[in-house]
């Protein structure tokens, strides 16, 4: 990989993916403390998926003989006002990740780095799915409102999600 700017930006994206994992783990901890183990399980799976994303870029950079530089991970937000608040923050975070991936793709176009463009296409498609999924959860939470029975049912459904890894075909 010849572009120093692209290597630096990919290293920053690895950091962002690790931060996302850490943030989702903090959200899982919030849900555990609130007695919502299904939501906690969903967030743990999300955390694992973000680690997979970081490693996908990590491995890609090594395949291209680029130097990976791991950066400090900032502290995640750990306090939330409600389940809806958590998912609204999740959507905002995913939208920021989408913007970051899009900026990386734009840089790869400017640098004429075709392999990076191909690799980032996977992330672009992934982000469409991420935002859609979180928006659907927000919509359901808004429909439920203050109904504890509805929240209990959604918590059970959320607990059925499994982590996204290549082994289970969800990555």
Q: What is the pLDDT of residues 64-118, one digit of tens each?
A: 999 999 999 999 999 999 999 999 999 999 999 999 999 999 999 999 999 999 9
Give the Cβ contact number of residue 125 at 10 Å.
10
Q: Cβ distance 70 to 16 under 8 Å?
A: no
The residue with greater pLDDT, 42 or 162, is: 42
End-to-end Cα distance, the chain = 25
Residues found in the chain: 171
d(CA 39, CA 83): 9
Superfamily of domain 4-72+81-159: Ferritin, core subunit, four-helix bundle (1.20.1260.10)
Residue 140 main-chain phi, psi, to 5 deg:
-65, -40
pTM of the model: 0.92
Per residue in 43-62, pLDDT (tens digit) is 999 999 999 999 999 999 99
d(CA 89, CA 13): 19
Per residue in 3-36, pLDDT (tens digit) is 999 999 999 999 999 999 999 999 999 999 999 9
pLDDT band at 164; cut points 50, 70, 90: low
Give the Cβ contact number of residue 142 at 10 Å.
11
∠ CA 15-106-54, rounded to 5°: 25
Q: Cβ distance 57 to 13 under 8 Å?
A: yes
To which residue do tokens 């939330």 refer?
80
Residue 2's pLDDT is what?
A: 85
The residues, ordered by sequence, that sit 6+ positions from 27 with a Cβ below 8 Å of its Cβ are 43, 46, 76, 80, 86, 89, 90
To which residue do tokens 């937000």 refer?
77
């Amino acid at each position: 990989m010849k572009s120093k700017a692209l290597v630096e930006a990919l290293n920053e994206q690895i950091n962002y993916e690790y931060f996302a994992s850490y943030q989702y783990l903090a959200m899982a901890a919030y849900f555990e403390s609130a007695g919502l183990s299904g939501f906690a399980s969903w967030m743990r799976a999300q955390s694992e998926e973000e680690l997979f994303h970081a490693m996908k870029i990590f491995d890609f950079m090594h395949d291209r003989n680029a130097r990976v530089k791991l950066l400090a991970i900032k502290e995640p937000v750990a306090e939330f006002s409600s389940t809806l608040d958590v998912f609204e923050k999740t959507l905002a975070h995913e939208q920021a990740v989408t913007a970051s991936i899009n900026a990386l793709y734009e840089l790869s176009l400017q640098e004429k780095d075709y392999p990076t463009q191909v690799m980032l296409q996977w992330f672009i498609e992934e982000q469409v799915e991420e935002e859609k999924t979180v928006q659907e959860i927000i919509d359901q939470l808004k429909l439920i409102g203050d109904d504890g029975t509805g929240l209990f049912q959604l918590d059970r459904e959320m607990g059925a999600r499994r982590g996204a890894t290549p082994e289970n075909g969800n990555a």
